[in-house]
Structures are given as C-alpha cells and as structure tokens.
Amino acid sequence: MVDFIAKVYTYDGTAYTNYVGNYWDDYEGTDAEGDGIGDIHYSIDSEKNESDDYPLMKPFENYNITTSAPA
C-alpha cells in the first residue's frame, strides 16, 4: 500500500508539510526550497515510467515526521 498523504515533518530545524518519498544515494537533484525534498523526480524504472516524485535529499533519519497534514 502506498501512502499519498502529505506529512508534517521537520528538516534542518524547520517544519514543512509535503509528501515524503525515499532516500536514493545516487540521486543528483537539487533542493532550491531547502525543504529536504528534491526538486526533480528520481527515476526508478524508466521503461515502466516509475519514479519517486518526492525524493529525500538526505537519509531518512535526518527528518522528523510528526503527523499527517489536515485533510
């Protein structure tokens, strides 16, 4: 099951609300907003058109997910 609910999380001392993907050690994207989420999707399997649209810039332990965002 995939969870597509925006999360409230803290990254580098600031709280954000956004969708949270996975950390990919070979992701080379940028994070212009500084929210810890990459600006460009991470391609998982281009033949199947699978991607992570919210790749994390750092390993998961650098994020503190506190709750789901209000509906």
What are 34-62's pLDDT values in tens digits?
Answer: 999 999 999 999 889 899 999 999 999 99
* pLDDT of residue 3 exceeding 60: no
Question: Whole-prediction pTM value?
Answer: 0.83
Chain-wide mean pLDDT for the chain? 90
Q: What's the confidence (pLDDT) of residue 42?
A: 97
Q: Is 47 left (phi over 0), alpha (psi -120 to 50) or beta?
A: alpha
Q: What is the dihedral of CA 6, 4, 37, 51, to 10 degrees?
A: -170
* pLDDT of residue 1 exceeding 50: no
Q: What is the DSSP letter of 23?
A: B
* Mean pLDDT calculated for residue range 21-46: 96
Q: What's the confidence (pLDDT) of residue 38?
A: 98
